[in-house]
Amino acid sequence: MGNELHNSRRAWSVLIVSTLAFTVCFMVWMMFGVIGIPIKKMLNLNATEFGLLTATPVLTGSLIRVPLGIWTDRYGGRIVMATLMAVTIPAIWLMSYATAFWHFIVIGLFVGLAGGAFAVGTPYVARWFPKNRQGMAMGVYGAGNSGAAVNKFVAPVLLVAFGWTMVPKVYAAIMLGALVLFWLFSYQDPAHLVPSNVRFSDQLKALKDPRVLKYCQYYSIVFGGYVALSLWMVQYYVGEYGLDIRIAALLAACFSLPGGVLRAIGGILSDKFGAHKVTWWVMWVSWICLFLLSYPQTDFTIVTVNGPTTFHIGLNVYAFTALMAVLGVAFAFGKASVFKYISDDYPQNIGAISGIVGLAGGLGGFVLPILFGILLDWTGIRSSAFMLMYGVVWVSLIWMYWTEVRHTDVLGGSTAAPANDSCASAVAPRTSLRPVR
């Protein structure tokens, strides 16, 4: 009894301090979402260049996730997370001295390493909890996504008071403080490590499973879309509605905050109702919201018997913000439910699989802002960003229907694949389904 209580206290200490560390890492990762606006004016960037500027940190934070996840399995989350945070501090500080576009791109690549923290903390915290509570644990940790909202509260205040160059300096100091707290209150359990006789290639075998590709698609919209919109929304409010940057950041936080904090609730719901059911509803809610958000501000004239009559159709700032908040809640639940799939299907290989799925989500967050900028420069329509995401959600819905919903209806039961029992046999066997005639 005493040992169980001791382990429980350690588990919650690890979860709390890891979530704090991830929140700070995510805040740093999203830094360009606010300070990118004065930098854009300073360097006279177009929309495509602005998209590249904001997305650059997301690239390295995504690419590093697979090796980080594997290293976490092999060496433990405590040492990997601490090392990752320490490496980013000098780059964050140097950002304040950048003056040319290429300076921001190069330094941003190193700052972006902070985004890899997700692939470290997810398997690290999950293994401290029993299987029936892993969805909750990963959901709470994933709530560190709310660092995107924290960035929108903190950065504008510093920017207006001291200029944008103060933001990286303060963020570097915050990262250092978070690193110290993490090291003091986190723990390592050798029982959580992958056995030394398991080879690197064994850990990657699960990547051959087509289900992993499907989970990548889901995560590219619920996480990649969340990251992309968190970076894009402040300048969207400024350009579309003519708001001050502080008001724009506050309204943008109405999307970022629930999109991060409520991930824990998504984990609890996934534990209770299953990953499939939660993800299915997330996609449909996202589909509806993005359909409404896609409609551009439109004026059209109808010739009536009494002469021409002009109508205006478009979302005002209040309706737009309300839809974004609903979308943020849906994305929060979806981020948790996708990783519930992973903990169910790959309990012994969470690090490697969460790394590759996190990579796909991060690449979505990298590619989407660039595509937003290209579409805006090409069409001149700001809501084209939501049109693009609407199409991505369509792909996820169709894929989910054909691989999960349709098969469930045919068999009259769940088609979830059995969980893996070992790293050496990373791909779980799949039931062969006969086609409907």
The reply to whether 240 falls in a domain is: yes
Judge whether 302 lies within some domain: yes
Contact 200, 286 (CB under 8 A): no
Closest CA to 404 of 280, 267, 288, 283: 280
In a domain, 331, yes or no: yes
Q: Confirm whether 197 is domain-assigned.
A: no
The Cα–Cα gap between 125 and 121 comes to 6
Does residue 17 lie within any of the structural domains? yes
Number of structural domains, the chain?
1
Residues 27, 431: Cα–Cα separation, whole Å: 42
pLDDT by 10s per residue, the chain, length 437: 445 555 778 889 999 999 999 999 999 998 998 899 899 999 999 988 998 998 899 889 888 887 888 788 888 889 999 999 999 999 999 999 999 999 999 999 999 999 889 889 888 998 888 878 887 888 889 888 888 889 988 999 999 899 999 999 999 999 999 999 999 999 887 777 766 555 556 556 666 777 888 888 899 899 889 889 988 998 899 988 989 888 998 999 889 888 777 887 888 888 888 888 898 999 999 999 999 999 888 888 888 888 898 888 888 999 999 999 999 999 989 988 888 888 787 776 776 777 788 788 888 888 898 899 999 999 999 999 999 999 999 988 888 888 777 665 554 544 444 434 333 333 343 433 333 33
User: Residue 254 contacts by C-beta under 8 Å, 6 or more apart in sequence?
Assistant: 321, 324, 325, 328
422 part of a folded domain = no
Residue 400 inside a domain? The answer is yes
Q: Which domain holds residue 98?
A: 2-187+202-411
Distance separating alpha carbons of residues 403 and 405, to the nearest angstrom = 7
User: At 400, which CATH number?
Assistant: 1.20.1250.20
Angle at 385 between CA 379 and CA 386, to 5 degrees: 125
Could you tell me if residue 211 is inside a domain? Answer: yes
